[in-house]
Amino acid sequence: MSFDIDDPPVEPPDECRHRLLWRLARALWETHRPGSSSFCVATGTWHENQPGPCQPARLAQEGMRTACGEPAPTSPPWITVTRERLAVGDIDPRDAVTEALWHHRHTPRAGR
């Protein structure tokens, strides 16, 4: 990956395959990222037997990995959540069209 998973960029990196998924996962990361004292900024929790990000922050990291094409244990649920959020209108359809056009331009096709 071309980005630091512990300090991911706001915008999806160039190798990102699922830009909407990136944005959902990145928003979760922003809410639950570790603060300067390594405590979750949302809950203020930290567990001695679990150094590093809280469970939602780790889930966000897996979502960003999934968006960039790296398999993660939570990849299928992340893709399902993205589709469900689009279906119920939580995601702007213009963003979905933008992502579809991006995929069309960036997906290798036979004979090209």
- 112 occurs within a structural domain: no
Residue 2 lies in a domain: no
The CA distance from 31 to 50, in Å, is 19
Residue with tokens 């993660």: 72
The pLDDT of residue 105 is: 64
Provide the pLDDT for residue 45. Answer: 63
For residue 83, the enclosing domain spans 19-106
> Does 96 fall in a domain?
yes
99 in Cβ contact with 16 (< 8 Å): no
Q: Is residue 11 part of a domain?
A: no
Looking at the 3D structure of the chain, how many domains does it have?
Answer: 1
Q: What is the pLDDT of residue 104?
A: 57
pLDDT at 13: 92
Q: Is residue 7 part of a domain?
A: no
Note whether residue 42 is domain-resident: yes
Predicted local distance difference test score (pLDDT) of residue 9: 93
Q: Is residue 83 assigned to a domain?
A: yes
d(CA 63, CA 22): 7
According to DSSP H, which parts of the chain are helical? 19-32, 55-67, 75-87, 93-106
Torsion region of 69: left, alpha or beta (phi above 0 gives left; psi -120 to 50 gives alpha): left
Q: What is the pLDDT of residue 12?
A: 92
Residues of the chain with pLDDT below 50 are: 47
Name every residue whose Cβ is closer than 8 Å to that of residue 22 and which is 6 or more positions away in sequence: 12, 16, 63, 64, 67, 68
Tokens in use for 112? 């090209």
User: Has residue 13 been placed in a domain?
Assistant: no
